Amino acid sequence: MATDGAHRFRSVKSLPVDRVVDDDSPYGQSSSFLRNDGPSVDDEDANPSVSPQGSVLGSWGNKKWGDTGSYAAKKKHHSWFQSSDGNWELAKILSISGTESLISYSEGKVLKVNSDCLLPANPEILDGVDDLMQLSYLNEPSVLYNLQYRYDRDMIYSKAGPVLVAINPFKKIPLYGNDYIEAYKSKSKDSPHVYAIADTAIREMIRDEVNQSIVISGESGAGKTETAKIAMQYLAALGGGSGIEYEILKTNPILEAFGNAKTSRNNNSSRFGKLIEIHFSETGKISGAQIQTFLLEKSRVVQCTEGERSYHSFYQLCAGAPPPLRALDAVHVSKENQENAFTMLAAVLWLGNVTFSIVDNENHVEPVIDEALLNVSKLIGCEADGLKLALSTRKMKVGNENIVQKLTLSQAIDTRDTLAKSIYSCLFDWLVEQINKSLAAGKCRTGRSISILDIYGFESFDEYIQDGIDWAKMEFEDNQDCLNLFEKVTYDTSGFLEKNRDLLHLDSIKLLSSCTCELPQAFASNMLSSSEKSVLGPLHKSGGADSQKLSVATKFKGQLFQLMQRLESTTPHFIRCIKPNNSQSPGVYHQGLVLQQLRCCGVLEVVRISRSGFPTRLSHQKFARRYGFLLLEHVALQDPLSVSVAILHQFDILPEMYQIGYTKLFFRTGQIGKLEDARNRTLNSILRVQSCFRGHKFRQYMKELKRGIFTLQSFARGEKSRKEFAMLLERHRAAVLIQKHIKAKIHRKRFEDIHGASIMLQAGIVFAYANVIYGNFKLIMSTFKGRCSGDIGLLQFGLEKGNQSDEVEVKSSYLAELQRRILKAEAGLKEKEEENDILLQRLQQYESRWSQYELKMKSMEDVWQKQMLSLQSSLSIAKKSLSLNDSERNSDASINTLTNDETTPGGDATNGRRNNGYGNVRPMSAGLSVISRLAEEFEQRSQVFGDDANFLVEVKSGQVEASLNPDHELRRLKQMFEGWKKDYTTRLRETKVILNKLGHEDGDGEKGKRKWWGRINNSRVNI
C-alpha cells in the first residue's frame, strides 16, 4: 500500500528530527562520544550480507547500519553472533581464514561461521551507557545488550538521542518521590528519567512560549499509563500550589476504572486513547486541564476473550468501593450524579441478562419479561413495554409508509448489545465531560500547555527539500512484505460492515429520550446531534438517522486528524515504553520481544537519524535574536542571515556540522550546545557585571539614605528625649516631695510606737526585776536565818569609834548556793524578758484588733443610742399627753359635778352624767398604765442590751475570759435587738389604736381638743 509521499502517513520513527535542543535538555549534549576506534556512519567498508542462519539480520542488519561493517579485513577480539534460537551471544574471534572466522562463545563452544555474520561489539568501557548514541557500534545486539545491562541493575531508563526508552520493571523501584523531583528540578541529577523529560518540557514552554507535548508510546503492558502518571506527578510538583494539581492526579483512577480492563497481556490495559492537556499560568503554575479521549473499545462491554475481563468499573460496582477510594468526590461530581452514573452501570449489567424467546416459525423473537428486563426499565426510567418493543422490533420508512419489522434472534441480540455499548460509551464521555468542567472551572488559560499523549506520532522529511538542504535520502523499509502477508490470511468478514458502522437504531435513541432519568435523555440528545453529521462517501440506504451515523473508521480518521493538528503546533518529547516479557515478571528480559518493540517503535532509526541528520533547526530571525548579542554592535545590526553566518564563523563551527537553508539553519546533534554554552557564559558575565554595578549603585543609595535617616532620627530622638526629660524632672520633684512627707509620717509613727513600747517594756522589766530581787532576797534571808541558828557564832556586833557596823560571816557553801540562785534568777529574768516581748507583741495585736472592734461597737452604740432616744422621746411625749388629758378631764368632771349639784339636786340624769365622767377617767388610767409598762420594758431592755454588748466587747478585747465566740454572739445579739424592736414597734401601734378609740368616746364637746397622739405625731422620731 505504498502511496505518494505527500499523502502517506508520516512515520513515527523519524519524528524526533523536528526537535529543537538546548543545554537545558538532558538529550541535547555534545556529540563527543563519536570515537575514532571504530567505523562511523560514513564508513566505506559497509558491506551488507545475509546471515547463513536465516536470522532477521538479512532485513534489519548491516544494510541499514553503516557502522556495523564487515570484519573481512579486521580481527577483533569480541563480536556478536546470533545463535540458532535467534538470541545474540558475545563471541571471541580466534582466527580468520578468508571469508570464514573461527569463534568461541558460551561455555567454550567453538564454531566456524561466515565473517559477514558477525557484528562488532563495543568495548567494556561503554557497557551500560545511558545514551545509545554514545555506542561506538550501533547495531541491534549492542543496543539489546546495553538495555539489558541497565535493566538488570534497575536502571530502566535510557536515552536514544532525544527519545527516552523506558523498560517496564514489573516491580517497585526507588527512582521516584520528592527527593528525586527536587534533584531533577535543581539539575543535580541528569540521568535519563521521565522527570527529566517533564522538566525539559516545562522549561521550554516557559522559555520559548510554545506549547509542549509528551508522546508516550508502546504496546499493551509496556507501562504507558504508569509513565503518564509519573510525568503528571512531576508537572504537578513543579506547577502546583493552587490545588488543581491534586484534582488532575485524581482523574487517573476514574479513567482507569471506566476505561481500563484486564487483558491477556496486561492486568490494567488502557482500552482507549487519552490526551491530557495541562494549562499553565504566566508564572508556570497549573491553572487547569482538559482531557480528550479516543475510541473507547465498546465491544469489551458485551464480549471478552477467554482469560480477559470487562472494564474495572463493573467489578468495582459489584464489590462496592470504600469511601476513601471514591475518587469522583475529588473532581466535584455531585452525589446525585454519582448515583446516576452507578445506575447506568447497573442498567448495562442487567441488559446482559436480558434473554429472548422465539415467537414464530420465522425465528422472530421477543424479550422475556423477567427480573432483568424489569430492572433495566426501572433503572433507565422507561416503560417495560417500550423497552420490549425497542429490543424486538425496528421501524422503517418505505416511501410514505412506516413499517414495523420484527427482529430475529441474532438481530435482537445485536440490538441489545448495541444499546448496552452505547449507554456505556455515552456514560464514559459524560464522565470525561464532568471531569473537564471540574478542571477548567474558574481557571484562566494563557495559551501555554503541556499535553501528555499515549499514542504514536508521525514525521516527514519534506522540510529538508523545501529549505534547499543538501540531504541524502535514507531508505526505509517498505511495508509491501506485510501487505503480502495480509493477503495470505483468511478473515471472517461476516457483519464487518455493520459493526464498523456502529449503529444504534433510531428506535433505541427515542427510547432513551423518553426515559424519566436525566442521563439517558442527555445520551439520546448527544446521539441525535451526532447523527446529523454525514458520512464521507456514498450514503447507505435511506433509513432515518441510521444512514447519517459516522462509522468507527470515520470517527478514528476525524479524531486522528484533529490530534495531528494539535501536535503539529507543539514541541514534542518522546517516551518509548518497552515490555521486557509477556509474563509480567520482574527481572526477565526476552531479547526477541524487546527487539520487536524497538523495531516497531523505530528507536534504532531515531538514533541513526539523530547521528546522521540535522535534528536541531532554528529560523534565521530566531537564531540571530538569540545569539546576535555575542557579536560586535556593528555586525549585530545587519540582516538575520548575515548575523547567523557571522556567529557560525566566530565560534568555529565546522561546515559539515550545519547547513544554511533559505529560512532556517540546520545543525547536527550537539552543535547548538556549544552556542548555548557561550551564550550562557556571556549572559552570566553580563549578569555578574550588572549585579556588581547595581550593587554599587544600591550601596551608594543606601549610604545616602542611611545618612538622611540617621539625621532625621537624631532630631526626632532629641526632641523626644527633651520632652521625656522634662516630664521625668517634674515626676522626680513630685516624687521627692511625696517621699519626704511619707518618710516624715512613717518616722514619727515609728518613733511614737517605739517610745510607747519602750516605756511599757521598761515598766514591765523593772517590775519583774523588782519582783525577782525581792523574792530572792526573801529566800536568802529565810535560808540565812535557818542555817545560822545551828552553827557557831556567826554574828558579831560591835561598836567602833561611835560607828556601829554589823558583820555577818557565812560558810562558803552558803555563798555558792546564793550564787547559783542568783544565776538562776538571772536566767529566769531573761525568760521573763522574752515572754514580755512576746506578750508585748500580742498586746500590740490586741490593741490593733481592739481599735477595730471599738470602732464597730461605737458605730453600733451610736445606732442603738439613736434608736433608744427615739423610743424614749416617743414614750415621754405619750406620757405627757396622757397626763395632760387626764388632768383636763378631771377638772372638767369636777366642774360638771358642781354645776349639776347646783342646778339639779338629784335625778337620774345627773347621776348618769357623773357616771359618764368617772367612766371616762378609768379608760384613761388604763392607757397610762399601758404606757408605763412599755416605758419600763424599754428601760429594762436597754439596760440588758447595753450590758450584753459591753460584755462582748470585754471578751473580744481579752479583758474577760469566756468560752464563746464574740463575733457570733454579737451577731446574735443584733438579731435579738432587731426582733425586739420590731415587736415593740408593733405594740406601740396597737396602743395607739386603743387610745384613739378611747379619745372618740369623749363626745362632741371634745372634738376641738387635740389628741395626745396627734401631738406625738407632730414630734415623731423615726424608730
798-817 tens-digit pLDDT? 434 444 444 445 456 766 77
347 or 787, which is more confident: 347
pLDDT of residue 906: 43
Q: What is the greatest pairwise CA distance in the chain?
A: 202
Burial class (CB in 10 A: 0-12, 13-18, 19+), 724: exposed
| Other beta carbons less than 10 A from residue 399's beta carbon | 6
pLDDT, tens only, 897-927: 434 444 444 444 434 434 444 444 455 555 6
Nearest to 578 by CA among 147, 18, 47: 147
426 or 826, which is more confident: 426
Q: Which residues contact 109 (CB under 8 A, 6 or more apart)?
A: none
Alpha carbons 58 and 802: distance in angstroms, whole number: 175
Grid cell for residue 365: 423473537
pLDDT of residue 397: 79
| Residue keyed to cell 548555548 | 676
pLDDT of residue 69: 42
Catalogue the E-assigned strands of 637-754.
658-660, 664-667
Determine how β-strand 163-167 pairs with β-strand 571-578.
parallel
Predicted confidence band of residue 722 (pLDDT cuts 50, 70, 90) = very high
How much is the average pLDDT of 663-678? Answer: 78
Percent of the chain with pLDDT over 70: 71
Alpha carbons 234 and 127: distance in angstroms, whole number: 30
Determine how β-strand 100-104 pairs with β-strand 616-619.
unpaired
In angstroms, the Cα distances linking 211 to 20, 30, 208, 235, 237 are: 13, 26, 9, 14, 19
pLDDT at 416 over 90: yes
Q: Mean pLDDT across the chain, nearest whole number?
A: 75
Predicted confidence band of residue 984 (pLDDT cuts 50, 70, 90) = confident
pLDDT at 123 over 70: yes
Alpha carbons 66 and 366: distance in angstroms, whole number: 69
Predicted confidence band of residue 549 (pLDDT cuts 50, 70, 90) = low
CATH hierarchy code of domain 333-440+505-548: 1.20.120.720
How much is the average pLDDT of 687-698? Answer: 93
Q: Which of 115-124, 450-459, 698-707, 1008-1017 has the highest mean pLDDT?
A: 698-707
Alpha carbons 252 and 683: distance in angstroms, whole number: 42
Determine how β-strand 212-217 pairs with β-strand 448-453.
parallel
Q: CB pairs under 8 A, 24+ apart, for 47-53?
A: 47/72, 47/116, 49/114, 49/116, 49/117, 50/116, 51/82, 51/114, 51/116, 51/117, 52/113, 52/114, 52/117, 53/82, 53/83, 53/84, 53/117
Superfamily, domain 11-21+157-329+445-469+549-608: Kinesin motor domain (3.40.850.10)
How much is the average pLDDT of 409-422? Answer: 92
pLDDT at 410 over 60: yes
pLDDT, tens only, 281-302: 888 888 889 998 888 888 899 9
Answering whether pTM is above 0.85, one says no
- Looking at the DSSP bridge assignments, the partners of residue 273 are 294
Alpha helices (H) in 490-639, listed in sequence order:
496-501, 506-513, 518-530, 552-568, 591-601, 603-612, 620-627, 633-636
Task: Report yes or no: 230 and 176 within 8 Å, Cβ to Cβ.
Answer: yes
pLDDT at 644 over 70: yes
| Residue keyed to cell 506578750 | 839
pLDDT at 468 over 70: no
| Residue keyed to cell 504508569 | 226
Q: Which residues contact 220 (CB under 8 A, 6 or more apart)?
A: 263, 265, 266, 269, 270, 579
Domain boundaries, the chain: 11-21+157-329+445-469+549-608, 333-440+505-548, 855-1018
**DSSP structural state of residue 364:** B
Determine how β-strand 571-578 pairs with β-strand 212-217.
parallel
Task: Report yes or no: 551 and 497 within 8 Å, Cβ to Cβ.
Answer: no
How much is the average pLDDT of 964-991? Answer: 79
185 or 850, which is more confident: 185
For the stretch 329-348, what's the b/e string if a residue is b when 16 or more beta carbons lie within 10 angstroms of its beta carbon? Answer: ebbebeeebeebbbbbbbbb
- Looking at the DSSP bridge assignments, the partners of residue 431 are none
Nearest to 474 by CA among 17, 96, 149: 17
pLDDT of residue 402: 82
How much is the average pLDDT of 989-1002? Answer: 68
pLDDT at 46 over 80: no
Task: Report yes or no: 571 and 210 within 8 Å, Cβ to Cβ.
Answer: yes
Q: Write the DSSP assignment of 263-315 as a string of letters.
A: -SS-TTEE-SEEEEEEEE-TTS-EEEEEEEEE---GGGGT---TT---BHHHH
How much is the average pLDDT of 295-314? Answer: 90
Task: Report yes or no: 506 and 546 within 8 Å, Cβ to Cβ.
Answer: yes
Predicted confidence band of residue 561 (pLDDT cuts 50, 70, 90) = confident
pLDDT at 527 over 70: yes
856 or 64, which is more confident: 856
pLDDT at 587 over 70: yes
Hey, what amino acid is at 720? K
Could you tell me if residue 766 is left (phi over 0), alpha (psi between -120 and 50 degrees) or otherwise beta?
alpha
Task: Report yes or no: 877 and 1018 within 8 Å, Cβ to Cβ.
Answer: no
Nearest to 79 by CA among 130, 116, 28, 24: 116
How much is the average pLDDT of 695-713? Answer: 93
Alpha carbons 247 and 563: distance in angstroms, whole number: 24
